[in-house]
Amino acid sequence: MPTVRIVIQSRLTSSRLPAKALLPVAGMPAVVLCALRAANTGIETVVATSVDTSDDLIAEAVAGAGIACFRGPLDDVLGRFQAATADLEPRSLVVRMTADNLLPDGFLVQEMVDFLLANRLKYLGPNDPRLPYGLAAEVFTVDVLREACRETDQPYDREHVTPWIRAKYGSVIFKTQRLDRDYSGFRCTMDTLEDYLRVVKVFHNVEDPIKASWANLCAGLAALEDGSAFRLPRRKKGGFEYSELTLGTAQLGMEYGIANRYGKPTVEAAVEIIRRAIDFGLNSIDTARGYGEAELRIYEALKGENKGRIMVITKLDPLEGMERDSPLKSVCAAVDASVYRSCRDLGLRRLPVLLLHRWEHRYAFQGAIWRRLLQLKAEGVIEKLGVSAQTPEEALEALKEPEIGHLQLPFNILDWRWRKPEIEGAIRARNDVAVHVRSVFLQGLLTAGASIWPKIKGLNASELLGKIDELVGRLGRENRADLCIAYVRGKPWIDSLVIGVETIEQLNRNISLFKNKPLTAAEQELVEVSLGEVPVELLNPALWGAACGKS
């Protein structure tokens, strides 16, 4: 059995909740409770703080509780971990924890250590999708810690310790055997005052806060919040359980949509929207290189957290600046620039899912774009490739491409193009492909008044909206938005709905509609018969043109 050392990183200069390590929980500083719980089975535990004078109080509090303390660089936390384990053999194990995460204990650590050893792994992370948001520990060998310290000089890698290690060694999924339910969507981290107060309540009246089981504390967390907190349902596809709602972020990065009334939100508002969605169990975020500041805002929202539980799906730059006769070398350079800028702005070494923004790029420039993406996938820069399709013809063609693992398409109660049996059959034949749908509200038209609808020959917007309102009443739905969401959720071949919002109020309203049941097959048929086939020009916002004026 190799030596195991738990190293808990802690500092007082947190940007979101300053001095949180010293905030009292169960009658002691949070950092002290964290360390005592980690050590409650006898595993050696060290708190690693910085040499900065601002962290003197941490060192004093830890020493006063009889806990070992190591001090190293403030910002180079990777270097701090290497120095804190310099006396260990290469095969020894390091368990990384953070002082704002009080639920893990020695039993969870031992379970992870046993799993790592049984599977002969170099790294194991907290990637059980059932764990509360923020409950985390990482186990890795000393030799890979030293390897990372040698190989990477990227500030992000040095600050967050394990990104380089995860990218090279972190592919195995760990699932604890001690959970009897899904706790995803609950929060137990301490990033805000609200988070801190929640953690205090979890430990309130716990008989022995040091020895209390982490699983029992999870149950206490759930009991605390179950009365008011709803968790989004999920659908499993390709080894990942997608929340039925995927947060679209076009509106968070730029002014987007004909029905947009509020414009682009501030950075703070965008971050609040993303984190609030995660609180409800959302684990999938859709973005794109072409969505303005969206990728940067996603990074701000996820910064310092476990990104492994949030599936970030981004899209290649539309490459609108490329001429038809551009040299292939320039095309590949543009692809690289898009991919690596997404990595940079999202704070990721590897993109979980990258979509072609347009299916035509699969064959453009003699296939150079697609070939370069396949090379980047082979090099580990991209985990899964996919496409944002516009038409059924594009989707059917994409499904024939074996490297496509993710398909996004437009779909709503008016889009009759996708009702053909061969489309559902082709999707079912590729059960490895996740299918997400956008345009559920047709860029807001379906929930807005007729005055902002595009003027299209053969389309009477007022009459169509009247039919939709009649269906809302006939089917007992809350409103048009409820009908739109319930109809799309009723399709078994759809894994998640990509819906964007401009405000936290819109997000809350949308999430509340996922509490309602999807439409049955008979109800879906009623909707389809009642609404018939609208002009195809209405189904593609790119064709609306100057006709789309706001009232």
Q: What gap in Å lies between CA 112 and CA 106, rounded to an integer?
A: 10
pLDDT digits (tens, 9 = 90+) for 189-244: 898 888 899 999 999 989 999 999 999 999 899 888 765 567 889 998 877 889 99
Mean pLDDT of 408-431: 95
Q: Which structure tokens are listed for 224?
A: 């605390």
CA distance 200 to 102: 10
Residues of the chain with CATH 3.90.550.10: 4-224
* Residue labelled with tokens 């303005």: 292
Does position 32 have pLDDT exceeding 80, yes or no? yes
What's phi and psi for 420, nearest 5 deg?
-70, 135
Helix, strand, or coil (residue 25)? strand
The overall average pLDDT reported for the chain is 92
The CA dihedral of 163, 236, 191, 273, to the nearest 10 degrees, is 110
**pLDDT surpassing 80 at residue 504:** yes
Distance from C-alpha of 510 to C-alpha of 248, rounded to nearest angstrom = 12
Residue range(s) in the chain whose domain bears CATH number 3.20.20.100? 234-450+491-518
Cα distance between residue 198 and residue 214, in whole Å? 15
Please spell the DSSP secondary structure of 7-70, one letter per residue: EEE--S--SSSTTGGGSEETTEEHHHHHHHHHTTTS-EEEEEEESSGGGHHHHHHHHHTT-EEE
Provide the token pair at 22.
Answer: 């010293």
**Which one-letter amino acid corresponds to residue 229?**
A
Take residue 176 and report the two structure tokens written for it.
């604890």
Residue 249 has what pLDDT?
Answer: 97
pLDDT digits (tens, 9 = 90+) for 262-303: 678 899 999 999 988 988 889 999 999 999 999 999 999 987
Task: State residue 381 phi and psi, 5-degree precision.
Answer: -80, -30
36-56 pLDDT, tens per residue? 999 999 999 999 999 999 999
Q: What is the DSSP string of 254-288?
A: S---TT--S-SPPHHHHHHHHHHHHHTT--EEE--
Per-residue pLDDT, averaged over 307-331, amounts to 88
Lowest mean pLDDT across 88-97, 186-195, 353-362: 186-195
Assign domain 4-224 one CATH number from 3.30.450.150, 3.10.20.340, 1.10.3720.10, 3.90.550.10: 3.90.550.10
Q: What is the separation, in whole angstroms, between the first and last Cα of the chain?
A: 72
Measured in whole angstroms, how far is the alpha carbon of residue 298 from the centre of its chain?
9
- The answer to whether residue 309 scores a pLDDT higher than 80 is no
Rg (CA), the chain: 25
Q: pLDDT tens digits for 514-542?
A: 989 999 999 999 999 999 999 999 998 88
C-alpha span between 407 and 245 (Å, rounded): 15
Residue 445 to residue 173: CA distance in whole angstroms: 42
List residues bridging with 351 in a β-sheet.
382
Please tell me the CATH code under which domain 234-450+491-518 is placed.
Answer: 3.20.20.100
Of the pLDDT bands very low, low, confident and very high (cuts 50, 70, 90), residue 549 is very low
> Residue 388's beta-bridge partner residues?
408
Q: What angle do CA 18, 266, 310 make, to 5 degrees?
A: 70
Query: For tokens 């893990």, what's the residue?
Result: 104
